[in-house]
Amino acid sequence: MWNEFYRCSTEMVLTKQGRRMFPYCRYWVSGMDPYQKYILAMDITPLDTHKYKWNGKWWEPGGKAEPHVLGRAFIHPESPSTGQYWMHQPVSFYKLKLTNNILDQEGHIILHSMHRYLPRLHVIPADKATETFTFPQTEFFAVTAYQNVQITQLKIDCNPFAKGFREGTMVGRPSKEGKPKSFAQVKDSPDSKKLEHDDPESTEKLKESLSLSEHSDADTENESFIAKQELKSLPNSQSTVLQNLLLKLNQLHR
């Protein structure tokens, strides 16, 4: 799925409250010591020093990038776990959320709209050097409203919470950044897409479907709190390793 989005230049929506990624990052890991405990963490780094704009056909540089907010990483809630545990099934970072609120206190990843980013996976063993992995096809442009109609359609086609959109006939067009006027939003395309509907009944069905998807996205648990609690419960050696990782991440961006 990532490859399909990558061909169209993936976009991820940012909101003040925090929005989950779609597609989200899901990894198969291998080569670990089955009995060694590891912490898995993910952060998102800028790919360059540009701010971008959508010209109607493709993305192009449109100015200097805003300073990246440092020190934000999402610790997988099942950390620390043994290598055997991590390797027996895909590792999902579904709960990671993106926000454009620079004052965020919930532990979400803070990004700037109209900038280009790349997720990074960090594998942190207790007594060895941290290893970092990136995959080019997971790069994306952060937006507050989808710019490319192809991306919008892919989100509708692939997102299981977009059933309401697939049931009706619709015509979509990209909206201008920061000025969404849609009357209905899908879970993974909030504030993103102007939708034109001539059928009031279809519109109501969409609103009901989208209301359900928004409810499913509003987690009752606070990921930031969980991460902090996990960190507190780590052995001193692993806690120190993780703190050193965050320090290194900050230094890389300076």
The answer to whether residue 221 scores a pLDDT higher than 60 is no
Query: Does residue 244 sit in the same domain as residue 192?
Result: no
What is the reported pTM? Answer: 0.67
CATH of the domain at 132: 2.60.40.820
CA 157 to chain centroid: 18
The answer to whether residue 5 scores a pLDDT higher than 80 is yes
Query: Does residue 7 sit in the same domain as residue 46?
Result: yes
Q: For residue 167, what pLDDT is reported?
A: 56
Query: Does residue 166 sit in the same domain as residue 202?
Result: yes
Higher per-residue pLDDT: 15 or 127? 15
Q: For residue 71, what pLDDT is reported?
A: 84
Higher per-residue pLDDT: 209 or 40? 40
Query: Does residue 159 sit in the same domain as residue 187?
Result: yes
**Helical axes 223-233 vs 236-253, angle rounded to 10°:** 130
Query: Does residue 73 sit in the same domain as residue 195?
Result: no
The answer to whether residue 128 scores a pLDDT higher than 60 is yes
pLDDT band at 240 (very low <50, low <70, confident <90, very high): low
Mean pLDDT of all residues belonging to the chain: 76
Query: Does residue 81 sit in the same domain as residue 131?
Result: yes
Query: Does residue 79 sit in the same domain as residue 97?
Result: yes
Query: Does residue 110 sit in the same domain as residue 167?
Result: no
Q: For residue 244, what pLDDT is reported?
A: 57
Domain interval for residue 177:
149-217
